[in-house]
Copies of this chain bind each other. A is one copy, B any other.
Amino acid sequence: MSESATHRAHDVVLRHIEDSLRSGTLKLGDRLPGERALAEQFGISRASVRDAIRSLEVMGIVRSATGSGPNSGTIVVSDPSSALGVALRMHVASSGLPLKDVVEARMMMETWSLEHAAAAPWTPEQLDDARRLLDAMEDDALPSQIFTLLDAQFHVALSALAGNVVVSTMMESMREAIRGYIDDAVLRRGGWDDVVHVLREQHRGIFSAVEAREGELASRLVREHIEWFYHQTL
Protein backbone atom coordinates (compact mmCIF):
# COMPACT_ATOMS: atom_id res chain seq x y z
CA MET A 1 0.00 0.00 0.00
CA SER A 2 2.67 2.45 1.05
CA GLU A 3 5.88 1.87 -0.89
CA SER A 4 5.35 1.30 -4.56
CA ALA A 5 8.45 -0.79 -5.39
CA THR A 6 7.06 -1.87 -8.72
CA HIS A 7 10.52 -2.97 -9.69
CA ARG A 8 9.69 -6.60 -9.18
CA ALA A 9 8.39 -7.85 -12.49
CA HIS A 10 5.53 -9.97 -11.20
CA ASP A 11 4.34 -7.20 -8.88
CA VAL A 12 3.20 -4.96 -11.70
CA VAL A 13 0.60 -7.45 -12.89
CA LEU A 14 -0.35 -8.21 -9.30
CA ARG A 15 -0.98 -4.54 -8.61
CA HIS A 16 -2.79 -4.06 -11.87
CA ILE A 17 -5.17 -6.89 -11.12
CA GLU A 18 -5.80 -5.69 -7.57
CA ASP A 19 -6.57 -2.21 -8.89
CA SER A 20 -8.86 -3.61 -11.55
CA LEU A 21 -10.63 -5.61 -8.88
CA ARG A 22 -10.99 -2.58 -6.65
CA SER A 23 -12.24 -0.32 -9.44
CA GLY A 24 -14.67 -2.91 -10.69
CA THR A 25 -13.04 -3.29 -14.08
CA LEU A 26 -12.57 -6.91 -13.14
CA LYS A 27 -15.32 -8.67 -11.28
CA LEU A 28 -16.30 -12.10 -10.12
CA GLY A 29 -16.64 -14.55 -12.99
CA ASP A 30 -14.62 -12.48 -15.47
CA ARG A 31 -11.84 -14.04 -17.49
CA LEU A 32 -8.34 -12.63 -17.41
CA PRO A 33 -6.48 -12.14 -20.67
CA GLY A 34 -4.22 -15.05 -21.57
CA GLU A 35 -0.81 -15.28 -19.97
CA ARG A 36 0.89 -14.51 -23.26
CA ALA A 37 -1.27 -11.44 -23.79
CA LEU A 38 -0.57 -10.12 -20.30
CA ALA A 39 3.14 -10.69 -20.75
CA GLU A 40 3.16 -8.59 -23.90
CA GLN A 41 0.88 -5.95 -22.39
CA PHE A 42 3.22 -5.30 -19.46
CA GLY A 43 6.43 -5.93 -21.34
CA ILE A 44 7.49 -8.78 -19.07
CA SER A 45 8.02 -12.46 -19.60
CA ARG A 46 5.31 -15.04 -19.39
CA ALA A 47 7.10 -16.67 -16.44
CA SER A 48 6.62 -13.52 -14.37
CA VAL A 49 2.97 -13.34 -15.34
CA ARG A 50 2.56 -16.93 -14.27
CA ASP A 51 4.24 -16.05 -11.00
CA ALA A 52 1.66 -13.37 -10.29
CA ILE A 53 -1.28 -15.54 -11.33
CA ARG A 54 0.04 -18.34 -9.18
CA SER A 55 -0.03 -16.01 -6.20
CA LEU A 56 -3.62 -15.06 -6.89
CA GLU A 57 -4.51 -18.71 -7.25
CA VAL A 58 -3.03 -19.58 -3.86
CA MET A 59 -5.04 -16.76 -2.31
CA GLY A 60 -8.24 -18.11 -3.86
CA ILE A 61 -8.75 -15.04 -6.02
CA VAL A 62 -8.58 -16.75 -9.39
CA ARG A 63 -8.86 -20.26 -10.77
CA SER A 64 -6.86 -21.55 -13.73
CA ALA A 65 -7.88 -24.33 -16.07
CA THR A 66 -6.43 -25.67 -19.30
CA GLY A 67 -8.28 -26.28 -22.50
CA SER A 68 -10.58 -23.92 -24.35
CA GLY A 69 -14.13 -22.72 -24.01
CA PRO A 70 -15.88 -20.80 -21.25
CA ASN A 71 -14.47 -22.96 -18.48
CA SER A 72 -10.85 -22.60 -19.46
CA GLY A 73 -8.32 -19.92 -18.83
CA THR A 74 -7.92 -17.87 -15.69
CA ILE A 75 -11.19 -16.80 -14.09
CA VAL A 76 -11.88 -14.52 -11.14
CA VAL A 77 -13.48 -16.55 -8.36
CA SER A 78 -13.94 -16.14 -4.64
CA ASP A 79 -12.68 -19.17 -2.79
CA PRO A 80 -11.11 -17.79 0.36
CA SER A 81 -11.98 -20.68 2.64
CA SER A 82 -10.04 -23.43 0.91
CA ALA A 83 -7.14 -21.08 0.29
CA LEU A 84 -6.98 -20.05 3.92
CA GLY A 85 -7.51 -23.66 4.91
CA VAL A 86 -4.44 -24.86 3.07
CA ALA A 87 -2.35 -22.02 4.45
CA LEU A 88 -3.54 -22.72 7.96
CA ARG A 89 -2.81 -26.41 7.60
CA MET A 90 0.72 -25.66 6.50
CA HIS A 91 1.29 -23.37 9.43
CA VAL A 92 0.00 -25.96 11.85
CA ALA A 93 2.28 -28.50 10.20
CA SER A 94 5.27 -26.23 10.66
CA SER A 95 4.33 -25.71 14.31
CA GLY A 96 3.94 -22.03 13.59
CA LEU A 97 0.37 -22.18 14.87
CA PRO A 98 -0.49 -24.51 17.76
CA LEU A 99 -3.39 -26.86 17.13
CA LYS A 100 -4.77 -25.97 20.54
CA ASP A 101 -5.08 -22.33 19.55
CA VAL A 102 -6.83 -23.26 16.31
CA VAL A 103 -9.42 -25.25 18.22
CA GLU A 104 -9.87 -22.42 20.70
CA ALA A 105 -10.29 -19.88 17.90
CA ARG A 106 -12.81 -22.11 16.24
CA MET A 107 -14.77 -22.33 19.46
CA MET A 108 -14.75 -18.56 19.79
CA MET A 109 -16.14 -18.15 16.28
CA GLU A 110 -18.72 -20.85 16.59
CA THR A 111 -20.12 -19.69 19.91
CA TRP A 112 -20.24 -16.15 18.58
CA SER A 113 -21.98 -17.30 15.42
CA LEU A 114 -24.67 -19.27 17.18
CA GLU A 115 -25.32 -16.45 19.62
CA HIS A 116 -25.75 -13.99 16.76
CA ALA A 117 -27.68 -16.44 14.64
CA ALA A 118 -30.54 -16.15 17.11
CA ALA A 119 -31.17 -12.56 16.10
CA ALA A 120 -30.20 -12.86 12.44
CA PRO A 121 -32.79 -12.84 9.63
CA TRP A 122 -32.29 -16.30 8.17
CA THR A 123 -35.01 -18.20 6.38
CA PRO A 124 -36.18 -21.73 7.13
CA GLU A 125 -34.61 -22.84 3.84
CA GLN A 126 -31.16 -22.02 5.14
CA LEU A 127 -31.80 -24.13 8.17
CA ASP A 128 -32.74 -27.03 5.92
CA ASP A 129 -29.15 -27.33 4.78
CA ALA A 130 -28.14 -28.08 8.32
CA ARG A 131 -31.13 -30.39 8.79
CA ARG A 132 -30.18 -32.49 5.77
CA LEU A 133 -26.67 -32.89 7.14
CA LEU A 134 -28.07 -33.80 10.52
CA ASP A 135 -30.16 -36.54 8.92
CA ALA A 136 -27.27 -37.78 6.81
CA MET A 137 -25.17 -38.28 9.91
CA GLU A 138 -27.74 -40.71 11.32
CA ASP A 139 -26.46 -43.44 9.03
CA ASP A 140 -24.71 -46.03 11.17
CA ALA A 141 -22.73 -47.39 8.24
CA LEU A 142 -20.90 -44.10 7.76
CA PRO A 143 -17.10 -44.32 8.02
CA SER A 144 -15.69 -41.90 10.55
CA GLN A 145 -13.93 -39.87 7.87
CA ILE A 146 -17.21 -39.22 6.07
CA PHE A 147 -18.96 -38.46 9.31
CA THR A 148 -16.39 -35.85 10.29
CA LEU A 149 -16.75 -34.31 6.85
CA LEU A 150 -20.50 -33.98 7.24
CA ASP A 151 -19.92 -32.84 10.80
CA ALA A 152 -17.74 -30.00 9.55
CA GLN A 153 -20.34 -28.97 6.98
CA PHE A 154 -23.04 -29.06 9.64
CA HIS A 155 -21.15 -26.69 11.87
CA VAL A 156 -20.40 -24.36 8.98
CA ALA A 157 -24.03 -24.40 7.88
CA LEU A 158 -25.22 -23.42 11.34
CA SER A 159 -22.60 -20.73 11.73
CA ALA A 160 -23.49 -19.28 8.35
CA LEU A 161 -26.87 -18.32 9.81
CA ALA A 162 -25.16 -15.48 11.67
CA GLY A 163 -24.75 -13.83 8.29
CA ASN A 164 -21.07 -12.96 8.57
CA VAL A 165 -19.18 -14.23 5.54
CA VAL A 166 -15.76 -13.59 7.04
CA VAL A 167 -16.48 -15.59 10.17
CA SER A 168 -18.00 -18.44 8.17
CA THR A 169 -15.02 -18.48 5.87
CA MET A 170 -12.53 -18.59 8.70
CA MET A 171 -14.46 -21.31 10.45
CA GLU A 172 -14.59 -23.40 7.33
CA SER A 173 -10.88 -22.98 6.70
CA MET A 174 -9.99 -23.89 10.25
CA ARG A 175 -12.11 -26.99 10.10
CA GLU A 176 -10.45 -27.87 6.80
CA ALA A 177 -7.03 -27.31 8.31
CA ILE A 178 -7.57 -29.64 11.26
CA ARG A 179 -9.64 -32.29 9.47
CA GLY A 180 -6.63 -34.50 8.87
CA TYR A 181 -5.62 -34.32 12.51
CA ILE A 182 -9.14 -35.17 13.63
CA ASP A 183 -9.37 -38.20 11.38
CA ASP A 184 -6.01 -39.44 12.60
CA ALA A 185 -6.98 -38.91 16.21
CA VAL A 186 -10.28 -40.75 15.77
CA LEU A 187 -8.61 -43.75 14.18
CA ARG A 188 -5.92 -43.80 16.84
CA ARG A 189 -8.46 -43.65 19.63
CA GLY A 190 -10.84 -46.34 18.42
CA GLY A 191 -14.27 -46.94 19.90
CA TRP A 192 -15.88 -44.74 17.30
CA ASP A 193 -19.30 -46.30 17.76
CA ASP A 194 -19.54 -44.98 21.30
CA VAL A 195 -18.43 -41.54 20.32
CA VAL A 196 -20.75 -41.12 17.37
CA HIS A 197 -23.86 -41.63 19.49
CA VAL A 198 -22.93 -38.78 21.78
CA LEU A 199 -22.07 -36.57 18.85
CA ARG A 200 -25.46 -37.16 17.23
CA GLU A 201 -27.28 -36.31 20.42
CA GLN A 202 -25.24 -33.14 20.90
CA HIS A 203 -25.85 -32.12 17.30
CA ARG A 204 -29.58 -32.52 17.67
CA GLY A 205 -29.55 -30.45 20.82
CA ILE A 206 -27.60 -27.67 19.16
CA PHE A 207 -29.85 -27.74 16.13
CA SER A 208 -33.00 -27.49 18.22
CA ALA A 209 -31.63 -24.55 20.18
CA VAL A 210 -30.77 -22.70 16.99
CA GLU A 211 -34.13 -23.52 15.47
CA ALA A 212 -35.82 -22.08 18.55
CA ARG A 213 -33.55 -19.06 18.28
CA GLU A 214 -32.23 -19.64 21.78
CA GLY A 215 -28.82 -18.13 21.16
CA GLU A 216 -27.38 -18.48 24.60
CA LEU A 217 -28.36 -22.10 24.92
CA ALA A 218 -27.02 -22.97 21.47
CA SER A 219 -23.78 -21.24 22.24
CA ARG A 220 -23.34 -23.12 25.50
CA LEU A 221 -24.18 -26.46 23.94
CA VAL A 222 -21.75 -26.04 21.09
CA ARG A 223 -19.01 -25.06 23.52
CA GLU A 224 -19.60 -28.22 25.53
CA HIS A 225 -19.77 -30.21 22.30
CA ILE A 226 -16.39 -29.02 21.05
CA GLU A 227 -14.73 -29.31 24.44
CA TRP A 228 -16.02 -32.81 24.91
CA PHE A 229 -14.87 -33.98 21.51
CA TYR A 230 -11.50 -32.31 21.89
CA HIS A 231 -10.79 -34.05 25.16
CA GLN A 232 -12.05 -37.36 23.82
CA THR A 233 -9.69 -37.45 20.90
CA LEU A 234 -6.79 -35.03 20.82
Contact = CB atoms under 8 A, between A and B. Distances in A.
Interface string A73-103: 0001010100110111111011111100110
A164 B104 contact: yes
Contacts of A93: 18, 21-22
Given A55-B58, A91-B61, A93-B18, A166 B104 contact: yes
Contact of A55 (B54, B101, B108, B166): B54
Interface of A is mostly: helix
A180 interface: yes
Contacts of A1: 179-180, 183
Nearest to A10: B54
Contact of A87 (B59, B101, B104, B180): B59
A28 interface: yes
A59 B101 CA distance: 19
Contacts of A51: 50, 54
Interface residues of A, number: 53
Contact of A91 (B2, B27, B60, B94): B60
A28 B96 contact: yes
A84 B93 CA distance: 17
List 4 tightest A-B contacts by C-beta distance, closest first: A78-B96, A59-B87, A101-B166, A105-B166
